[in-house]
Amino acid sequence: MARERVDDLVVVLPGILGSRLLDADGKEVWGPSGGAVWRAIHTFGRSVKALTLPSDLGDGHPGDGVRAHGVMPTLHALPGVGPVVDGYTGLLDWLERLFTLRRRRPGEGDDVPANLLAFAYDWRLSCRYNAERLKERVERALSQWRDSAPQRRAARVVFLCHSMGGLVTRYYVECLGGFEITRRVVTLGTPHRGSLSALVHLVDGLRVGWGPWAVQLTDFARSLPSLHQITPDYACLVRPGGLRYPRETAGLMGVDEKLLRDAGAFHAEIRRAAGARPGAAAALLPVVGVRQPTPTTADIVGDRLRPQDTIDGLDEGGDGRVPRLSAAPPGTPTGYTPCEQHGSLQNGSGVRDALWGWLAAEPPYHRTPLHDPVPLGVHAPELLPAGAPYDLTVTVPPEVPGGDELAISATLHPVESGRPLRHTLANRGGGRYATSFSAPAPGPYRVAVAVAGRRDSSVTALLLVGEGDG
């Protein structure tokens, strides 16, 4: 099959945790060593004290020699810091296979043309700092691409951003002049108005079940400007008299109030800059995951948060991590709304069909769905202690015709080794289906939930099973 022509520079940005990190000696401290996600987590846990940031860092670098080195290729997570997320190699390989896009290979010099760039960054640091690094890298890469052939002189930049990568990109585009060379920004599950889950990580910390370094990981998470910058920039805390912004609520345990106020200023900078250029939002295409149970507001109970999936009594859903209300800036039309979970958005077939349409002239006919997909809400943990069963429930909205008469399966695919295990879900009535897998072995899993005979109706959940308290 002939590849679709793309003359622009395409830049892929991962979310928090999505870039590999090396220390000053060139040793990997966060990455897929040996292909094992648990090895990466344990390696990071042993190094976490040295990687914790000073409280007065602001938008700077701590000078500890840590640097980013490539994006995470496969499933990854850091309990208490960020969600379980799939990797980015599949997306990059797909882009090269279907479009005239090419990454620069190791050892190749700047004289070798390349128009596909994976931008890795130190996700511990402020989004402002990483936006400055993005500016340097992208503008140099675009200049090299434009100079490589006369027909490329008019090339611009297309950003494909997952999660927090969209905030880094938007700060560059809106606040650092990037709009002048940008054709469009596609965000996949970006918390444009923040994520309640990030606030829960800061307040509740990593309390049980994840080994002797749980406290160290909690202290590490609370030192990160980046994690504060993806806390909610909307009123989300239930207080007497109504909902309040986190920055309006004093005494939240675990939250650096200075970093929280600065996070509010960060989001305000983007809004002001975008608002100063009428029509600027036309270049922004938010992909918004829907129908998944998503923490949106929270009660304060003692020194902890009790998340709720509703806001003002309404369950608006989201991608399981980013609420629907947050996954696009206010007033910005949504580019696409897949029924998919946050960590799998970048690899979802429907999302890739949408990307095809935005990168190519139009999607081929055979990619047009013959039916409306059945929206599946998948309720299941993403972190599971060793020895515990994996309980999974699927809900189908009552307005879906025949939604209480479906055949739904769930297949547990080990990421690293082992055979997949498939269950047919029991129909509990009223559009609710459920199953339970006996305690899975420790390790990472992809869980494919699908409606029989409907390839267009599937959701991929991610699971990380712990290795006990050692």
The string of pLDDT tens digits covering residues 253-275 is 888 999 999 999 999 999 999 98
Give the contacts of 291 (CB within 8 A, at least 6 positions apart). 317, 339, 375, 376, 377, 397
pLDDT tens string 273-308: 998 987 666 689 999 999 999 999 999 999 899 999
Amino acid code (one letter) for 239:
R
Phi/psi-derived region of residue 256, left when phi > 0, alpha when psi is between -120 and 50, beta in every other case: beta
Mean pLDDT of the chain: 92
The residue-averaged pLDDT of 429-456 equals 93
Q: What is the pLDDT of residue 45?
A: 85
Q: What is the pLDDT of residue 277?
A: 83
Determine the number of helices (DSSP H) and then strands (DSSP E) in the chain. 9, 23
The token duo for 466 is 């712990």
Mean pLDDT is lowest, of 38-47, 134-143, 157-166, 292-301, for: 38-47
Furthest-apart CA atoms within the chain: distance in Å: 64
Amino acid code (one letter) for 213:
W
The token duo for 180 is 């002048």
How far apart are the C-alpha atoms of 179 and 176, rounded to whole Å? 8
Share of the chain above pLDDT 90, in %: 78
Q: How confident is the model at residue 210 (pLDDT cuts 50, 70, 90)?
A: low
Q: How confident is the model at residue 251 (pLDDT cuts 50, 70, 90)?
A: confident
The residue-averaged pLDDT of 341-350 equals 95
For residue 6, pLDDT over 90 is answered with: yes
For residue 219, pLDDT over 60 is answered with: yes
More confident residue, 211 or 401: 401
Q: How confident is the model at residue 24 (pLDDT cuts 50, 70, 90)?
A: very high
For residue 414, pLDDT over 90 is answered with: yes
Token pair 């923040």: residue? 194
For residue 370, pLDDT over 60 is answered with: no
Beta-ladder partners of 173 = none
The residue-averaged pLDDT of 368-391 equals 86
The residue-averaged pLDDT of 439-451 equals 95
Beta-ladder partners of 118 = 12
For residue 213, pLDDT over 70 is answered with: no
Q: 3-class DSSP state for residue 451?
A: strand
The residue-averaged pLDDT of 413-436 equals 95
Q: What is the pLDDT of residue 436?
A: 98
pLDDT tens string 305-331: 999 999 999 999 999 999 999 999 998
Q: How confident is the model at residue 216 (pLDDT cuts 50, 70, 90)?
A: confident
Q: What is the pLDDT of residue 188?
A: 98
For residue 366, pLDDT over 50 is answered with: no
Q: Number of C-alpha atoms within 13 angstroms, CB side, residue 30? A: 29
For residue 1, pLDDT over 80 is answered with: no
Mean pLDDT is lowest, of 195-199, 203-207, 411-415, 460-464, for: 203-207
More confident residue, 250 or 196: 196
For residue 39, pLDDT over 90 is answered with: no
Q: How confident is the model at residue 362 (pLDDT cuts 50, 70, 90)?
A: low
pLDDT tens string 141-151: 999 999 999 99
Q: Number of C-alpha atoms within 13 angstroms, CB side, residue 358? A: 25
Q: What is the pLDDT of residue 206?
A: 78
DSSP code string of 401-425: TTTTS--EEEEEEESSSS--EEEEP
The residue-averaged pLDDT of 160-180 equals 97
**What's 332's DSSP letter?**
P
The residue-averaged pLDDT of 402-408 equals 94
Strands (E), 63-107: 67-71, 76-78, 82-85
